[in-house]
Amino acid sequence: MLFSYNWLKDYLKGKMPSPKKLAELLTMHSFEVESVVKKGNDFVLDIDVLPNRAPDCFSHLGIAREIAAILNSELQAPDSKSEEDQKLKAKDFVSVEVKNKADCSRYSAKVISGVKVKSAPKWIQERLKVCGLQPINNIVDITNYVMLETGQPIHAFDLDKVGKKIIVRRAKRGEKIKALDDKTYQLDGDILVIADQKRPIAIAGIKGGEKTGIDKKTKNIVIEAANFNQRVVRQGSRKLKLRTDASWRFENGITPELVDLSQERVASLIQKIAEGKVAQGLVDFYPKKILPKKINLDLNYLEKLLGLRISKQKVLKILKSLDFKTSEVGPQRIKVGVPTRRLDVLIQEDLIEEIGRIVGFQDIPSTFPRAALISPEKNEELFWQRNIKNILKEAGLSEVYNYSFMGEKQRGIFNWSKGDLTELANPMSSFNRYLRSSLIPNLLRNIKDNLKHFDQIKLFEIGKIFIKKQNLREKKMLAGILTRKGIKDEGFYELKGMVDSLLAKLGIADVWYDDYRQTPELSEAEIWHPQKSAEIKSNGEEIGFLGEIHPKVMENLDIKERVFVFDVDFEKLLKLASEEHEYQPISVFPAAIRDLAILVPVGTKVVEILNKINIGGGKLVRDIDLFDVYSGQGIPQGKENFAFHIIYQARDRTLSSKEIDEVHQRIIKALEENPAWEVRR
């Protein structure tokens, strides 16, 4: 914003620093001065006033007050006295009606009659030019001059062209106005206007209308000084693509209390320069007066925050120089009254900042802050989530992040009822119509997209799903997925091995796999292969599922390869996981491996066979591996052959062949107790 050096000098008593020195002082204490340029007998200072200081420093008086505080000088306010004609009453000429006080918190009108419209004095014209405004005539130039001086936009209407009543209202649809820039603007209900009883006469806070503008024939005028809602002015300015000095100030906010000073000042100048008679009184709509804020300032806190001891006398002097009202309420406490124009000062810290910048931030010593280093509280969820991710990545799985949504097509493929899903009110697309109730559908979409480029895919995801029953409930889940070209049943056992490894590394013991049962949360869902799926259990509680995806789902998704998935309740994992592990030394005695093949009916679960082997072998069976499943040539119809490696090992001795044979025979006997099973010798 442009400021005149000579104009600022008028407001200060005592010697003014040179323009360059003044620019340095303002930059160090208030606002950055971007340039200082000589213009005729004056200098133009381009000062970057911050938006939060617009209410008090978008004016020469505001900047002069800052300079006076920095220089420890005294502010010299301009003469604002005018003589009112007792025979003329403002209320006899005009009345004001504001339709909505939220749009306009204050509107004042002052009447001046018998003015002589001519060119403004040279000194006013020069100052306007320095600040980037072109002179028009003495009345308009004075209103612009007072705006630059006080920060309050002022507008003058030709009283004889305005009706008896001024109305502040929203524009009606279809209304239009020809403004002082000779352009016609279409108006609507988003735009605030000043109107008489017939038509709009100005765009409130933005631009005056041509029909009520000041010209050489004007004799009587009405001066408007108002306070319009900054949001409404900004909205209107953007809609009309019309930005003015007035709208700029209203958009950043000004106090309604500024109206009084600006009305007095403009009346004083017009009376002196245009020889007008000022009517007595002010037609003023001001339903709720703005009162100064009160803030308690603790000097001990000031010292703590700035790291600098400043005497109470100096603090009082600085606050007074910035026009704050002060009163002492204790040895180290001051009650501060904040001027209404300082909309940026709300709390004690704002006052401390004001004191600090006037003292000079460059004079505040640099010290390292004192702080105790306190270890943050452990976040169990993040800790275990990080561990789980590392374990699965080490197992060869890649992590994916999918959207928390699913589409209508996915709902149909998995046979989910609409009642089981939460539908979005405004979905981004048809592919994101519902909140996901499982991680699996989007993982399958990842598989379909990536099978075009890779022969083997191993993925996992940790994310929230949304269960809709009586109330919407979020649940965090962990899911992993595996497929490759030509994969068969071994995929189930490969994925099971990953799950076993994961649970073991999380310290979760007592894990076993049970018959698959449909989860009640999504009763109609069709995800798992009924004969090739299992529940994962620990401590008697189901914690997830493991198995092959239903062939019907794969057909609908047009995925040719078989796909195996585990889906685990992440929240249950957190409850079961433990950092405490009981380690047992590896046996130093040799292990022996015996193979065993068993013929069982199709559909027999491997876990049933494993349980029998473990029971029969007892502590001497260290591990069992299923290495082959066969149902081809040479196998009776309705039967299939499972082949196992059984690893025997003792912790305290080397097993003899006789001991191993005895245990092996005991296992065979236990298996053959089922008449439908046949151990092949």
Note the pLDDT tens digit of each residue in 343-397. Answer: 999 999 999 999 999 999 888 888 777 778 888 888 889 999 999 999 999 999 9
The per-residue pLDDT for 581 is: 64
Q: Rounded to two decimals, what is the model's pTM?
A: 0.60
**What CATH superfamily is the domain 84-285?**
Phenylalanyl-trna Synthetase, Chain B, domain 3 (3.50.40.10)
More confident residue, 8 or 577: 8
User: Which of 40-54, 147-161, 413-427 is predicted least confidently?
Assistant: 413-427
Q: What is the pLDDT of residue 608?
A: 85
Residue 526 carries which DSSP code? -
Per-residue pLDDT, 603: 80
Residue 232 has pLDDT above 90, yes or no: yes
Q: Are 298 and 330 in contact (CB under 8 A)?
A: no
Exposed / middle / buried, residue 178 (Cβ in 10 Å: 0-12, 13-18, 19+): middle
Q: Is the pLDDT of residue 582 over 70?
A: no
pLDDT of 307 reads 86
- Rounded mean pLDDT, 557-562: 92
Residues 528, 427: contact at Cβ < 8 Å? no
pLDDT over 60 at 522, yes or no: no
- What CATH number belongs to 380-576? 3.30.930.10
Residue 381: CB atoms within 10 A of its CB come to 12
Return the pLDDT at 352.
95
Written out in words, the top-level CATH class of the domain with range 592-680 is: alpha beta
Domain boundaries along the sequence of the chain: 2-69, 84-285, 293-362, 380-576, 592-680
Name the pLDDT band for 583 (thresholds 50, 70, 90): low
Q: Name the more confident of 583 and 238.
A: 238
Q: How many percent of the chain have pLDDT more than 90?
A: 70
Residue 478 confidence (pLDDT) = 96
Q: How far is Cα 65 from Cα 43, in angstroms, rounded to an integer?
A: 19
Q: Which fold has domain 293-362?
A: Phenylalanyl-tRNA Synthetase; Chain B, domain 1 (3.30.56)
Question: What is the chain's mean pLDDT, rounded?
Answer: 91
Predicted confidence (pLDDT) at residue 524 exceeds the cutoff of 50: no
Region 176-189 average pLDDT: 94
> What pLDDT shows up at residue 518?
64
Whether 84-285 and 293-362 share one fold: the answer is: no
Q: Which of 95, 145, 88, 93 is nearest to 122 (CA)?
A: 145
Using one digit for the tens of pLDDT, what is the confidence trace for 612-637? 898 889 889 988 888 888 888 888 88
Confidence at residue 171, expressed as pLDDT on a 0 to 100 scale? 95
Q: Which CATH number describes the domain made up of 2-69?
A: 3.30.56.10
C-alpha closest to that of 476 among 492, 463, 495 = 463
* pLDDT reading at 212 higher than 70: yes
HSE, side-chain direction, 13 A CA sphere, residue 45: 27
